[in-house]
Amino acid sequence: GLYLSPPNRALVLSIEEKSQIQALDREQPVLPMMPGVPERRTHSYVRHGTTTLFAALDVASGFVIGKCYKRHRAVEFLKFLKEIDDQVPEGLDVHIVMDNYATHKTPKIKAWLARRPHYHVHFTPTSASWINQVERWFAELTRKQIQRSVHTSVQAARGRLRSLIDLHNKNPKPFKWTKSADQILASVKRFCHKAQQTLCGEL
């Protein structure tokens, strides 16, 4: 409902963190792709540490607010919420879609949200993080950039992630559902029916 028909004068943000992004450096330079020859790289690499990217995707526009932190505890999540709050225009309700990870529900987080009644939290069901639209953006980021990246330090990896977010925000595009809610629920129903038949057959 928030994705297909968002409330008036409200911002719908899909929030998640991508943890353990590794700053990897190949032991030999990556050999670029040439006509008839694929890109080549060594199988061995050097680890320089990890970082965590927190991201909030504006469902309506595709704009992303992102920030890197060393870890992904409640402390960092609260800092990220404050970062979002600084960038949200006044007078708007803010609907947050996120998973029910324990970090998102600590007493400090609840208290911070309680002092801001214009914030409304919507948790995705357990094992259904695919509903959180920012996960789709993370998938694109991973496939197109993170898997192919080479960094000599965590600082270099963070700088690259910031530049990628800035580049994305120059021409943001929202994701579109290609199936209706009825089609998705019908697919889930078929899956559950098949799973039940399989379990009954094994018994």
Question: The domain spanning residue 165 has which CATH number?
Answer: 3.30.420.10
Kindly state whether residue 96 falls inside one of the protein's structural domains: yes
Decide if 187 is inside a domain: no
Buried b (16+ CB within 10 A) or exposed e, 56-75: bbbbeebbbbbbbbeebebe
Domain count, the chain: 1
Domain membership of residue 118 (yes or no) is yes
Pick from 54, 46, 3: nearest CA to 26: 46
Residue 40 included in any domain: yes
| Confidence at residue 28, expressed as pLDDT on a 0 to 100 scale | 59
Which whole number is the average pLDDT over 107-124? 93
Query: Is 73 within a domain?
Result: yes
Scanning the structure block, which residue is given the tokens 């994701």? 175
Distance CA 168, CA 127 (A): 28
Give all strands (DSSP E) within the chain, no chain letters: 10-26, 45-58, 64-69, 93-99, 119-124
pLDDT at 110 over 90: yes
Residue type, 175: F
Task: Show the domain range for 163.
Answer: 10-175
Nearest to 103 by CA among 131, 133, 69, 137: 69
| Of the listed ranges 33-42, 51-60, 66-75, the one predicted with least confidence | 33-42
In a domain, 156, yes or no: yes
- Judged against a pLDDT cut of 60, whether residue 150 lies above it is answered with yes
In a domain, 136, yes or no: yes
Of residues 12 and 49, more confidently modeled: 12
pLDDT the model gives residue 14: 94
Whether 153 is covered by a domain: the verdict is yes
| pLDDT at 203 (0 to 100) | 52
Beta carbons of 120 and 96 less than 8 angstroms apart: yes
